[in-house]
Amino acid sequence: MTNFEKCKLGFFYFDTSDKRVVVPKLSKWGWTLNVGNTYTYVLIILVVAILIGFSLFGSE
pLDDT tens digit string along 13-28? 888 998 999 888 877 7
| Residue 45 resides in a domain | yes
Determine what percent of the chain is predicted with pLDDT higher than 70: 82
Structural domain count of the chain: 1
pTM of the model: 0.72
Q: Which domain holds residue 14?
A: 7-57
Give the pLDDT confidence score for residue 32 in this predicted structure.
Answer: 87
| Residue 1 resides in a domain | no
| Residue 27 resides in a domain | yes
| Residue 29 resides in a domain | yes
Helices (H), 9-60: 38-57
Among residues 20, 13, 18, 11, the alpha carbon closest in space to that of 43 is found at 20
- Start-to-end CA distance of the chain, whole Å, equals 52
41 Cα distance to chain centroid:
8
CA pair distance 49, 45, nearest whole angstrom: 6
| Residue 51 resides in a domain | yes
| Residue 2 resides in a domain | no
| Residue 50 resides in a domain | yes
